[in-house]
Amino acid sequence: MKKIAVLVGSMRADSFSRKTANELISMFGDNVEAKIVEINNLPLYNSDLETATPPAAWSEFRNSMKEVDGVLFVTPEYNRSVPAVLKNAIDVGSMPYGNAIWNDLPGAIVSIAQGNIGGFGANHHLRQAVVFLDVHVMQTPEVYLSNIQDMFNSDDKIENQATRDFLKSFTYAFEAWIDRLN
């Protein structure tokens, strides 16, 4: 059983990112346990707090991430980049120096936007940050979901079958990527 952590880059309970993450989680195969790892409660990274007893939320996050086989980032685009909550989780996970949770972890990125370019800026800023931290980000298929506000029905399901099929193929590719790297 592969364990995949899903990090959602939006703090809003009813966010399109969370809806997208839940749809992706439902599309993984039976040999995958994918679940959202909450990052909203992480105190902002401050190296002064990196002591023998760092904030409990940091320790819980770091420990939970050490148990996964891969990480899926689902993020909106804020001002052509990633939201602060997601960047903070990346920073918290990168420390203490030499003990990053990201080392050699297979990863994938899904970006969303209400505009037409599907979070391209956020996707590539995120990719730049996590590749530096030795996350092995799947190159293709890339996922940029445009006009996300029009994708969901009243049950929070993606209506368009072509989009559903594409996202399902993405989950298969990510499973294969994890198998290849582990």
Q: Is the pLDDT of residue 45 over 90?
A: yes
- Does 83 sit behind a cis peptide bond, omega within 30 degrees of 0 on the bond before it? no
Measure the CA angle with vertex 118, ends 82 and 32; round to 5°: 75
CATH of the domain at 81: 3.40.50.360
- Whole-model pTM: value is 0.97
For the segment 18-31, what is each residue's pLDDT rounded down to a tens digit?
Answer: 999 999 999 999 99
Confidence of residue 12 (pLDDT cuts 50, 70, 90): very high
Looking at the 3D structure of the chain, how many domains does it have?
1
3-state secondary structure of 32: strand
pLDDT at 182: 86
As a whole number, mean pLDDT of residues 48-75 equals 97
- Asked if 81 contacts 113 with a C-beta cutoff of 8 angstroms, the reply is no
Closest CA to 8 of 120, 94, 126: 126
| Percent of the chain with pLDDT strictly greater than 70 | 100
Distance set, CA 51 to CA 43, 60, 101 (Å): 14, 15, 17
| Structural domain of 31 | 2-181
For the segment 105-163, what is each residue's pLDDT rounded down to a tens digit?
Answer: 999 999 999 999 889 999 999 999 999 999 999 999 999 999 999 999 999 999 999 99
pLDDT at 118: 87
d(CA 45, CA 91) in angstroms, rounded, equals 7
pLDDT at 129: 96
Give 76-99 as a DSSP string: E-BTTB--HHHHHHHHHHT-STT-
